[in-house]
């Protein structure tokens, strides 16, 4: 079985894949972009893909979830990965001597306060955290740095100039693992992700929320996203605390009657949020 992820070896997505694989005989394949990753899944080049869909600091990762709106896919597992961003350089160097820092846009956003405290640093977006480390390693310029996990610094033989630079010391990313196609829903599940478009009439979203409430279903997340080619119209990504049972089935039947479009993206077991015991809080 082949698992795809965005980035290179040493990225947080690859860490999530290793957790998903467990002791199974899985191979892993890195992709340069999320779109290429999703294309690989839909063209049967990989069996599963890892998509980061939400971060405890920066919120929903819309560049990934937007790709899944209209696809026939099935989320089968939810995995949380603790994010420990570090400032990484080729060799030990004073922060004042650094000129540029590279990382994935999400990582840069999650370290906004730290970077703002060093305004002399030029912040540069890069395709992936671990790939930024590889780029800095290959550079002849000792004044450039990357932001990635300390494990990536160790993997590529780099120097950790400063650990624990995330704004949120409890920084965690939620990943969903998708397979292609509509499959029989997994048994003994307790969470479902779906995407819904209403007719945008007055009270249409409220009607859907009332259906969930009427059936006793707890909403865990509601994210609105613009619909392409329909200015100022929105669809909604929703996570609910229900799996494969009749309650959810009846609720979805009622929602289909009042929605223009509904796509069940997966029903799975809730992932385990990491322990934060002993986490260092930035002063």
Measured distance CA(27)–CA(18) in Å, rounded: 10
Q: Mean per-residue pLDDT for 130-159?
A: 95
Distance of CA 131 to the CA centre of its chain: 17
- % residues pLDDT > 90 (the chain): 80
Give the model's confidence band at 57: pLDDT under 50 very low, under 70 low, under 90 confident, else very high: confident
pLDDT exceeds 80 at position 114: yes
pLDDT exceeds 60 at position 283: no
Cα angle 24, 29, 270; round to 5: 55
pLDDT exceeds 60 at position 282: no
pLDDT (tens digit per residue) in 9-38: 999 999 999 999 998 889 999 999 999 999
DSSP 23: T
Q: Mean per-residue pLDDT for 170-193?
A: 88
Q: Mean per-residue pLDDT for 213-228?
A: 94
For residue 161, what are the CA distances in angstroms to 93, 142, 144, 237? 7, 12, 12, 39
pLDDT exceeds 90 at position 202: no
pLDDT exceeds 90 at position 184: no
DSSP H or E segment with residue 2: strand 2-6
Give the model's confidence band at 187: pLDDT under 50 very low, under 70 low, under 90 confident, else very high: confident
Question: Mean pLDDT across the chain, nearest whole number?
Answer: 92
pLDDT computed for residue 281 by the predictor: 53
Cβ proximity of 92 and 161 under 8 Å: yes
pLDDT computed for residue 276 by the predictor: 76
Give the model's confidence band at 2: pLDDT under 50 very low, under 70 low, under 90 confident, else very high: very high
pLDDT computed for residue 272 by the predictor: 93
pLDDT computed for residue 148 by the predictor: 97
Among 89-93, 106-110, 182-186, the least confident range: 182-186
pLDDT computed for residue 90 by the predictor: 95
Strand-pairing partners, residue 149, are 85
pLDDT (tens digit per residue) in 87-103: 999 999 999 999 999 99
- % residues pLDDT > 70 (the chain): 96
DSSP 244: S
pLDDT exceeds 70 at position 278: no
- Say if pTM beats, i.e. exceeds, 0.85: yes
């Amino acid at each position: 079985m082949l698992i795809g992820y965005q980035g290179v070896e040493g990225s947080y997505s690859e860490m999530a894949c290793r957790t998903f694989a467990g002791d199974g005989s899985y191979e892993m394949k890195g992709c340069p972009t999320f779109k290429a990753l999703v294309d690989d899944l839909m063209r049967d080049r990989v069996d599963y893909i890892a998509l980061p869909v939400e971060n405890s600091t920066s919120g929903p990762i819309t560049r990934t979830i937007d790709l899944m709106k209209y696809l026939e896919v099935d989320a089968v597992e939810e995995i949380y990965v603790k994010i420990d961003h570090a400032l990484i350089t080729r060799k030990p160097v004073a922060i004042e001597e650094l000129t540029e820092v590279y990382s994935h846009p999400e990582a840069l956003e999650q370290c906004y306060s730290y970077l703002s405290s060093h305004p002399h640093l030029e912040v540069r977006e890069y395709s992936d955290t671990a790939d930024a480390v590889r780029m800095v390693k290959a550079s002849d310029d000792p004044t450039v740095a990357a932001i990635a996990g300390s494990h990536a610094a160790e993997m590529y033989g780099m120097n950790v100039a400063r650990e624990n630079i995330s704004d949120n010391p409890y920084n965690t990313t939620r990943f969903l693992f998708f397979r292609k196609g509509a499959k029989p829903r997994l048994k003994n599940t307790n969470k479902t992700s779906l995407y819904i478009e209403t007719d945008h009439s007055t009270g249409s979203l409220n009607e859907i929320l009332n259906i969930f409430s009427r059936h006793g279903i707890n909403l865990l997340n509601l994210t609105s996203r613009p619909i392409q080619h329909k200015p100022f119209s929105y669809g909604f990504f929703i996570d609910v605390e229900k799996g494969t049972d009749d309650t959810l089935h009846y609720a979805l039947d009622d929602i289909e009657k009042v929605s223009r479009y509904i796509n069940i993206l997966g029903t799975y077991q809730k992932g385990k949020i990491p322990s934060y015991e002993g986490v260092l809080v930035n002063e």
